[in-house]
């Protein structure tokens, strides 16, 4: 049975958006924004802040499991924090070898580690040893940093290190988010490794989903920006008779999102959080683009909500 997984999009896919998207349906698993690990065991409050779902059985209010993602380069610290995440109730642990952010890469985290497959292997092995054989351990990688020359070596390093599954974002760090996504490379990796592979990159429509699965050979697909721009994309994929939401159908979800922001986000950041999602929704919904133009200079959340409804 195939799964649709929500990608761990830093600064975007927080628990508020995870709640909104999983309430709509079609998503089987969520990954958190990365928890940045240096050389220390992080306090529990860090996990609860980035993954409040840990306080509610490790799942969104819709019942979709949430898996904590860790980012760093210190094998022992990552191992200790992986154990902590599991103890707190995470639905497994995911390791980040794909973040393209310059600040992250300058600190030797994310995609830059793909320059050193032996380091990648050591991290995965150390975490697996700490977690034991039964815990779910996954990882997410890009095809490389500057090029794809080490893609297969990194995939094998991760697989042999002991993961249960590997997600591949089918672009290098240098390629960023520019199309196309090289799904054929995911197929190469899938043939190379002994663990299930999840395909990720450039899935914006149900047709893209079908083509991605066909080219990559993967049963499972991770959705990122496509699910943010079109919140019922996963539902469209799972229920082919489901007609895409109109703006009027989506508006109640946007208002619920605003309510969650009002409850959880500090007041000075509330307006920016709403505007961020509206701007992205505007890529699909002209009405969202118009709404963004109307509220982009407004700061109080109550005034923003009044304009939206």
pLDDT at 306: 87
* Residue 9 CB neighbours (<10 A): 17
For residue 286, what are the domain limits?
247-308
| Cα–Cα distance for residue pair 130/120, rounded to 1 Å | 16
pLDDT at 308: 84
Residues 160, 27: one domain?
yes
Residues 198, 255: one domain?
no
Are 257 and 274 in contact by the 8 Å Cβ rule? The answer is yes
Residues 126, 210: one domain?
yes
Which among 244, 247, 246, 248 is positioned nearest to 234, based on CA atoms?
A: 244
| Cα–Cα distance for residue pair 283/23, rounded to 1 Å | 22
pLDDT at 309: 73
Residues 254, 205: one domain?
no
pLDDT at 124: 98
pLDDT at 14: 97
pLDDT at 261: 96
Residues 152, 289: one domain?
no
Catalytic annotation, residues:
99
| Cα–Cα distance for residue pair 307/212, rounded to 1 Å | 39
Residues 264, 123: one domain?
no
Distances (CA, A) of 3 to 6, 30, 86, 181: 10, 11, 22, 20
Residues 36, 106: one domain?
yes
Helical H segments across 88-171, by residue range: 102-106, 117-131, 151-161
Q: What is residue 55's three-state secondary structure?
A: helix
Q: Note down pLDDT in tens along the chain; length 309 residues.
A: 899 999 999 999 999 999 999 999 999 999 999 999 999 999 999 999 999 999 999 999 999 999 999 999 999 999 999 999 999 999 999 999 999 999 999 999 999 999 999 999 999 999 999 999 999 999 999 999 999 999 999 999 999 999 999 999 999 999 999 999 999 999 999 999 999 999 999 999 999 999 999 999 999 999 999 999 999 999 999 999 999 999 999 999 999 999 999 999 999 999 999 999 999 999 999 999 999 999 999 989 999 998 887
Residues 183, 291: one domain?
no
Which among 164, 217, 168, 222 is positioned nearest to 194, based on CA atoms?
A: 164
Q: What is residue 206's three-state secondary structure?
A: helix
Q: What is residue 28's three-state secondary structure?
A: coil
Residues 267, 132: one domain?
no
CATH of residue 116 = 3.20.20.70
């Amino acid at each position: 049975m195939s799964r649709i997984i929500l990608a761990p999009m830093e600064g975007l896919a927080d628990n508020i958006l995870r709640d909104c998207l999983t309430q709509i349906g079609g998503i089987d698993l969520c990954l958190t924004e990365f928890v940045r690990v240096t050389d220390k065991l992080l306090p529990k409050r860090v996990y609860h802040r980035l993954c409040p779902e840990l306080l509610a059985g490790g799942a969104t209010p819709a019942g979709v499991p949430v898996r904590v993602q860790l980012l760093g380069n210190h094998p022992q610290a990552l191992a200790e924090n992986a154990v902590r995440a599991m103890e707190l109730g995470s639905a497994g642990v995911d390791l980040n070898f794909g973040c393209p952010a310059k600040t992250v890469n300058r600190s030797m985290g994310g995609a830059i580690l793909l320059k050193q497959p032996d380091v990648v292997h050591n991290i995965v092995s150390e975490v697996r040893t700490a977690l034991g054989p039964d815990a779910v351990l996954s990882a997410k990688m890009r095809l490389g940093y500057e090029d794809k020359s080490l893609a297969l070596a990194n995939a094998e390093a991760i697989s042999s290190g002991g993961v249960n599954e590997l997600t591949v974002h089918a672009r290098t760090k240098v390629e960023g988010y520019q199309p196309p996504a090289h799904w054929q490379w995911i197929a190469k990796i899938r043939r190379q490794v002994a663990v299930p592979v999840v395909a990720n990159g450039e899935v914006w429509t149900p047709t893209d989903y079908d083509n991605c699965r066909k080219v990559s050979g993967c049963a499972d697909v991770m959705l990122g920006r496509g699910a943010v721009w079109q919140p019922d994309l996963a539902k469209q994929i799972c229920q082919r008779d489901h007609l895409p939401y109109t703006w009027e159908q989506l508006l109640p979800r946007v208002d619920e999102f605003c309510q969650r922001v009002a409850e959880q986000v500090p007041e000075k950041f509330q307006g920016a959080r709403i505007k961020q999602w509206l701007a992205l929704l505007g890529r699909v919904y002209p009405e969202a683009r118009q709404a963004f133009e109307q509220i982009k200079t407004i700061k109080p959340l109550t005034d923003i909500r009044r304009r939206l409804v």
